[in-house]
Structure 1
Amino acid sequence: MPPTSNPTLRQRRLGVELRKLRERAGLTATAAAQLLGVNQARISMMETGRTPVSADRVRTMASAYDCSDQPLIEALAAMTGRRTRGWWEEYRDHVPAALVDLAELEHHALGLRAALVIHIPALLQTTDHARALFQAVVPPMHQYEIEHRLSHRIKRQGILHRDNPPQYAATVHEAALRMGFGGPVVTRGQLKHLLDMSELPHVTLRVIPFGTPHFHTTGQSVDYIQGPVRQLDTVQLDSHHGACEFLDAEVQLDKYCAVLDSMELCALTPTSSLDFIHRLLQET
């Protein structure tokens, strides 16, 4: 297969996991190349995601690296081949690359968790609410940029409406519900939409009210994207300059699982959370 000049996050992640398998086996790239009958440059290209890898090649590498974790091996084999031509590829020239990668990750996710303090989760935003957010960006976006971002965000939400959708659990602070982006009409529409989305069997929404004790957070939005096995989970953080940061080291996954668990423990139950949103809607 010809090399890829701009591998996706998913392709890069496959390469990283292949490198981890090699390093756990105590093999250098040169030694691995000799075992597999390829040159060292080929190993490097596979481990950076620049050369597509077949499923058979992944299984061969896992055997050479003495990996016996069959669920992980099969999960890696499922990530092989050329780039998936999903809808997100249409946006590669129109939105930041990280947003394209995020959409691809969400598409393949088995489960999603989110925790936000200031904003409504992107997958639960109305079109009007999302537009108000994009219009408030500093420096201002051009109108065509806003429309591309808006279209991309709405298409991301399609994963919650497809057949066999991922389980989605979001924890939102009361502050996010009261921010009022777009004005009262937009806010009411957004609150109603949260109630409607919460009726889906695979969507769980929790609210953390003001004054909740033992609430610890940096205020940063956290998305946890669950892969087919624990090793392939990914954490996505929104940085202060608007970009996406992806984390996948084991210690990072453990940390943000604990953060999400802590925030869920601070929150109202799903039923009480919906009652809370109903009351807030009546006040708005």
Structure 2
Amino acid sequence: MRTSPTGRQLRLGVELRKLRERAGLTATEAGQLLGVKQNQISNTEAGRIGVSPERVRTLAHHYKCGDPALIQALSEMTSDRKRGWWEEYREILPTALLDLAEVEHHACRLRGAVTVHIPGLLQTTDHARELFRQVVPEFSPPDIEHRVSFRIKRQAVLYRDTPTPYRAVIHEAALRMQFGGRKTTRAQLQHLLDMSECDHITLKVLPFSAGGFPGSGQSIFYSHGPVPQLDTVHLDQSHGPVFLDAEAQLDMYRVLLDRLDSRALDPVRSRDAIHQVLREL
């Protein structure tokens, strides 16, 4: 039995519980259908014990799930038994950060919107290091370096053979925040320009002239799963990422991100805006 299931294992259990509850079955009744005890169903839904693809399909059949795409996606979540690179940080960093890397690794698409920070997936090493130096209470030098290396390794999803498509809206305020001084800021802005030329990255700037906008107080990141039910919202908080996956929450943040995207400059004018900030430094 697992003592500390990963975020992905927990999510699989949550989705199986949702299917069971929609079918109007208790854990005891579900166990009776499968010929197992109630605690096995409960432990599976809590991510404490593994489940095979065949068992997922059997459960979906008993739960009268008529969504083949969802059933297939849930089945595939059981087959990834390899330890991800993030596991080397399990005794070093908070579990929520490891879960974030796992979500990003498996995402089909990524999108986000930030106000005062450059998105983590687009930060340079020096920019990231300066951000971690500003944390209160202060991180020790080794803690800072662990977090910097972890953040840079997360960016591998944008560089692998089949990179993950990424769409980001960055407010002009984030472009003008000089973390680390002029030299670091210039290098960060140039990195944004370089990354914006990649076919799989869409970078849009929300200028000051756009005025007020929804979600202005949040840094929002959205990971698209293989089916919409498996999408995940992660909000960047001072204490770490917070994950949301309820249907109503997913719907709300899809609308919010769409509205932000519609108010931002197009990619060409966004690059012009970044060039302008760079020239002013």
TM-score, scaled relative to structure 2? 0.98
State the distance in 2 between where 1:207 and 1:126 align. 18
Q: Which residue of 1 aligns with 2:56?
A: 58
Q: Which residue of 1 aligns with 2:119?
A: 121
Say what the alpha-carbon RMSD is for the aligned residues: 1.0
State the distance in 1 between where 2:82 and 2:256 align. 32
State yes or no: 1:37 paired with 2:31: no
Percent identity over the alignment?
60
State the distance in 2 between where 1:83 and 1:223 align. 26
Q: Which of 237, 240, 260 pairs up with 2:257? A: 260
Q: For residues 175 and 152 of structure 1, do their structure 2 counterparts lie closer, same or farther at Cα, with a shift above 3 Å needed?
A: same
Q: Which of 246, 250, 256 pairs up with 2:247? A: 250
The one-letter code sitting in structure 1 at the alignment partner of 2:135 is V
Instruction: In structure 1, list runs of 5 or more residues that go unmatched.
Output: none
State yes or no: 1:199 paired with 2:197: yes
The one-letter code sitting in structure 2 at the alignment partner of 1:148 is H
SS state at 1:104 partner: helix
Q: Deviations over 1:139-190 (max 9, x none)?
A: 1100110010001000000110001111100000000000100000000000
TM-score, scaled relative to structure 1? 0.97
SS state at 1:113 partner: strand
State the distance in 2 between where 1:174 and 1:256 align. 21
Q: Which of 270, 276, 280 pairs up with 1:279? A: 276
Instruction: In structure 2, list runs of 5 or more residues that go unmatched.
Output: none
Given that 1:213 and 1:266 are in contact with CA atoms closer than 8 Å, whether structure 2 keeps it comes out as no
Instruction: Report deviation, 1:244.
Output: 1.1
Given that 1:54 and 1:81 are in contact with CA atoms closer than 8 Å, whether structure 2 keeps it comes out as yes
Instruction: Report deviation, 1:213.
Output: 3.5
Q: Following TM superposition, where does structure 1 have runs of at least 4 consecutive aligned residues deviating by more than 2 angstroms?
A: 81-84
State the distance in 1 between where 2:269 and 2:132 align. 31
State the distance in 2 between where 1:246 and 1:121 align. 17
Q: Deviations over 1:228-252 (max 9, x none)?
A: 000000000012x332100000000
Instruction: Report deviation, 1:219.
Output: 1.8
Q: Deviations over 1:52-75 (max 9, x none)?
A: 101011011111111121100000
State the distance in 2 between where 1:145 and 1:212 align. 38
Instruction: Report deviation, 1:217.
Output: 2.4
Counterparts in 2 of 1:159-238, with a 5 A limit? 159-238=157-236
SS state at 2:178 partner: coil
Size of the aligned set, in residue pairs, is 281
